[in-house]
Structure 1
Amino acid sequence: MIYAVIALVIVAFPFLVGISLSAPGHKGPKTDHFNGTQFINPGGIKAKGFSDVLRWMFSRDQGAWKYNYETSIGPKPVDSSTDLVVTFVNHSTFLIQWNNLNLLTDPVWSERCSPYSFAGPRRMRPPGIRFEDLPPIDAILLSHNHYDHLDITTLKRIHQQDDPVFIVPLGVERYLAQHDITKCVSLDWWQSTSIGLDIMATPAQHFSSRGMLDRDKTLWCGYTLTNGEQKLYFAGDSGYGDFFKEIGKKAGPMDVSLIPIGAYQPKWFMSPIHVSPDQAIQIHRDVKSKKSIAMHFGTFPLADEGQGKAEEDLILGLEKSGIEQKQFVIPEEGEPISF
């Protein structure tokens, strides 16, 4: 009997953990992309399910990654700027300084993008800005609730230090409230808010979850920011779709776009939720971007392409497309780019 109980506990434990990690979902009326319980991608595209996850995990052919903490870290940023200054921290984290505001996108300073400090994808490069060197943060933009984009440990540190406003997709504010973060503005696609810059949430093709029972119960998005003269687009995390052309028509042309290029192999598994470098170039064109900056590469080994592969494929794709590399740059971590 005792062995049966132990076996039951062993089998049940992962499910109990998955249940405990699940975040609360959005409550609201049905829309064309919310069925009352779950959010829906443009065109109804779905991320792969559990059986496909197992198929991928047991057939992985991951390229090489090197743990590199010898890389240089950027200088301490200026306290503020009236001009647009963008500094790549790494992965999807940028410091955006503009109109005397300091904003962070999807800030992650933890060692792992995981619910645990001892397991999960490990950071292969240090953040390009030391946390203690950050200027006072006025606002944080969150694209969705995955661990490599919503790092609650980092968010709580910034909240306690600076008390910024959190701009989030629908439902994410309920999870933050569980951690006493309540200064939130939640947005649906195409909804806007103003904090000295006009910020609008834009569609993306992805999914959401932090546990086993909250799949797609909160929204995912990108953002556009404007001061009335210049426009910046942060694409968030997304697979490719025609909605990027719609973003270009409704909100473009963009002066600066922050576009993901990594975590795209194997294509059969990743393409619904992540763009390839070639698709990133198409997004650059779709949103009519004058200059784009690559992101979502080189930090966490999330997919099967090896370290450096996304950057190589982007350079090759730009050459084939006849686009100069200075129009779609691979940023150096910690180095500010002024516009």
Structure 2
Amino acid sequence: MTKVHFTHIGGPTVLIDFDGWRLLTDPTFDPPGRTYAFGWGTSSRKLTGPAIAPTDLPPIDAILLTHVHHGDNLDDAGRALLPAAGTIVTTSSGARSLPYPARGLRAGQATRLEAPGRPPIDIAATPCRHGPPFSRPVVGEVIGFALTWPGQAHGPLWITGDTVYHRALREAATRLRPGTILLHLGGVGFPSTGPLRYTMTTRQATRLHEAIAPRTVLPVHYEGWQHFRENREGIEREIAGGSSTLRESLRWLPRGSPVDVAV
């Protein structure tokens, strides 16, 4: 069993520290106040800054970047961190677009991180659909990451990435049977697109949980921006008001403070 230290810095940005490895997900370190365009008439203003300044980060062995083209997953200050990272793992299209060497993956492909004196980490890309059916030409390529290494007691660590619940996601999760999930929530929506959602809602997360019964669910990317339709209060209200099994596994990460989770 591995004890993993998770530090939620804000939005999708989490420092993952275990057995000598330091991994960073979707680096977003810009200050609040700026409005970012996401294409096709959609935009959002950042409301909350990072809990940890980029200058206070330890050396990063790898950055796991679910996609490169949205400012709430990779902003200017986050891009400035990329050259110093030991490895960048992202989408195949994202790797081609970055001015730095990166390992590009499509859903179903995998890569391995290795270093002397540390356990190897196998990273498999998982499918994401960052919006309604047939939206990929608009929203672009997005992936999640399933991390496996020797000594895990409860199954892989899964970072879902920005996605709604859909068949390919459920099938991948059923094959993986992750024990711990960094779950991108928030039910993203925009005035110009009405009721359409671009990340998972609490109801969708409940369906996913029922399909795979993970041991621990750590919500991320549900706060700090205008475009989230379900913040923590809304998520907790939805869980409390229904029959969601999600409450059995849900564990909130405090911003800026490490939390130990047995993986």
Shift of 1:150: 2.1
Partner in structure 2 of residue 291 of structure 1? 216
For residue 328 of structure 1, give the secondary structure of its aligned residue in structure 2: coil
Whether 2:162 is the aligned partner of 1:237: answer: yes
Query: CA-to-partner distance for each residue in 1:176-209, whole Å, 9 max, x for gaps?
Result: 12xxx12x111111111110211110001126xx
* 1:321 aligned residue: 243
Aligned to 1:155: 79
Correspondence for 1:251: 176
Question: Aligned match of 2:65 in 142, 161, 169?
Answer: 142
Q: Please list the CA deviations of residues 55-86 of structure 1 after superposition, one character each: whole Å capped at 9, or x if unmatched.
A: xxxxxxxxxxxxxxxxxxxxxxxxxxx73111
Unaligned runs of 5+ in 1: 1-81, 208-213
2:5 maps to 85
Q: Structure 1: how far apart are the matches of 2:82 and 2:143?
A: 22
Distance in 1, Cα, partners of 2:35 & 2:206: 27
> How far is 1:266 from its partner?
6.6
Query: Offset at 1:148?
Result: 1.1
1:100-121 deviation digits (Å, cap 9, x = unpaired) = 1111111100124637xxxx64
Say if 1:217 and 1:91 are closer, same or farther in 2 by CA, change over 3 A.
closer
Q: Map residues 110-259 of structure 1 onto 2, 5 A cutoff.
A: 110-111=30-31, 112=34, 114=36, 121-144=44-67, 145-156=69-80, 158-160=81-83, 162-177=84-99, 181-182=100-101, 184-195=102-113, 196-206=120-130, 215=137, 219-228=141-150, 229=152, 230-252=155-177, 254-259=178-183
Q: Superposition pairs for residues 13-24 of structure 1, below 5 Å? A: none
Matched, 1:103 2:23: yes
SS for the counterpart of 1:171 is helix
Q: Distance in 2 between matches of 1:331 and 1:198?
A: 25
CA–CA separation in structure 2 for the residues paired with 1:163 and 1:149: 16
State the identity as a percent.
24
- Structure 2 unmatched ranges of 5 or more: 38-42, 114-119
Question: Aligned-pair distance for 1:280?
Answer: 1.8
Structure number with bigger Rg: 1
The answer to whether the Cα contact below 8 Å between 1:171 and 1:217 also exists between their aligned partners in 2 is: no
Show structure 1 runs of 4+ deviating over 6 A.
none
Aligned residues: 237
| Structure with the higher fraction of residues in strand conformation | 2
**Distance (Å, rounded) in 1 between the aligned partners of 2:121 and 2:19:** 7
Query: Normalising by the residue count of structure 2, what TM-score does the alignment of the two structures yield?
Result: 0.80
**Match of 1:88, SS?**
strand
Partner of 1:57: none
Contact 1:89/1:334, CA 8 A, preserved across alignment: yes
Match of 1:260 in 2: 184
1:272–1:124 CA distance, 2 compared to 1 (3 A)? closer
Counterpart of 1:330 in structure 2 is 252
Q: How far, CA to CA, are the matches of 1:255 and 1:276 in structure 2?
A: 20
Change in 2 beyond 3 A, CA 1:324/1:122: closer
Question: Counting helix residues as a fraction of each chain, which structure ranks higher?
Answer: 1
CA 1:265–1:113 in 2, change beyond 3 Å: closer, same or farther?
closer
Q: Determine the C-alpha separation between the residues in 2 that align with 1:137 and 1:126.
A: 20
